Amino acid sequence: MTTAFDPIVLGGKHLANRLVMAPMTRSRAYGPGAEPTELMATYYAQRAGAGLIVTEGIQPSPLGQGYPDTPGLHTAGQVRAWRTVTDAVHREGGAIYAQLMHTGRIGHPSLLPDGLVPVGPSAVTAKGQVFTHEGPKEFVTPKELTEAEIRQTIADFADAARNAVAAGFDGVELHGANGYLIHQFLAPNTNHRTDAWGGDTEGRIRFAVEVATAVAEAIGSDRVGLRISPGNQFNDISEDTPDEVYLALLDRLAGLDLAYLHLMEGPNRDLTPRLRKVWPGTFVLNPFTYPDATGPDALGLIEDGSADMVAYGALFLANPDLPRRLASGGPFNNPDKATFYGGDHRGYTDYPTLPA
């Protein structure tokens, strides 16, 4: 029987176990030019016992930033700074993928270079507010992307993936979940286009397919993963019947031979085994456990074949040595929600590990 503590080969790289540190925005890229810091290198290196680390969301272009103090991968300085992080993780024997996240309509002009506004597949305003350096602000109506701008955005993803490889990352994960730009193209309430980038199922999956294709061509398909969250209502997304769209998406992507599919499961758990069945490659599952954090019970998803790898979020945040704790049945540190976003080392690099 395969367990979560057995090794696995992912994209030609041998991983020590099947536990994934899920991507989690921490908003601590205080360096000049949205560059990661030495403290971020310490944070990720502490968690190198994961089979795979997937970083916080990294904007592939200045326009892709939706939150304060999130890092980028579109300048030479950012590439150099990320090399410090990847070197630290590799020294500890870990593997690390960069999550490329364009937030699309989720953001605010105050977070962007002068004159820019958030963009989306259609000019549909998200309900709610976004946090900025000046406090919470209402979402604005995004600028609808033109054909040329869509093509440029796809190129930005590919360029950022090349930068990730130059920075020492083992691969990249495309963030197609949680209501950000790729997800906005997939969802009917955010994509009202009637051209080839919307309208029917084929049109709505096109952006995701073309981004994945361009990135795979840029760095090799074995270095590319994709995260999806069918039916997830986060960031004012509505997908009442996601089955058709996501099954069609996976059918189109199957031939690319990507490193993995990362499913952020929603309450409609009936879709999970269907996606697992049609996906030909490595299947990473972030199981639906809301309102609780994913716990030790999720290890059984490897044993029963529901997934090839299991992703842990908040529990990895609070337990740098999570694989060791899971193997021994605990105990587990509780995550401090007050320190999730922004701040210093507290609630970031000061969680204790088990005694040697």
The residues assigned a catalytic role are 180
Cα 182 from chain centroid? 11
Tell which residue, 160, 182, 155, has the closest CA to residue 172. Answer: 160
- Asked whether 118 and 106 are in contact (CB, 8 A), the reply is yes
**Cα–Cα distance, 281 to 260 (Å, whole number):** 6
Nearest CA-CA partner of 286 in 247, 214, 228 = 228
127 three-class SS: coil
Residue (of 92, 107, 104, 96) closest to 56 by Cα position: 96
166 three-state secondary structure: helix
Contact in structure between 42 and 91 (CB atoms under 8 Å): no
The answer to whether 97 and 48 have CB atoms below 8 angstroms apart is no
Exposure on the CB side of residue 67, measured as CA atoms within 13 A: 21
Cα-Cα-Cα-Cα dihedral sign, residues 178, 182, 188, 193: positive
Going through 31-165 in order, the beta strands assigned E by DSSP cover 52-58, 96-100, 119-120, 129-132, 135-138, 143-144
Give every CB contact of residue 77 below 8 A, 6+ residues apart in sequence.
32, 33, 35
- Unique residue bearing structure tokens 């930033």: 65
HSE of 225, CA atoms in CB hemisphere, 13 A? 32
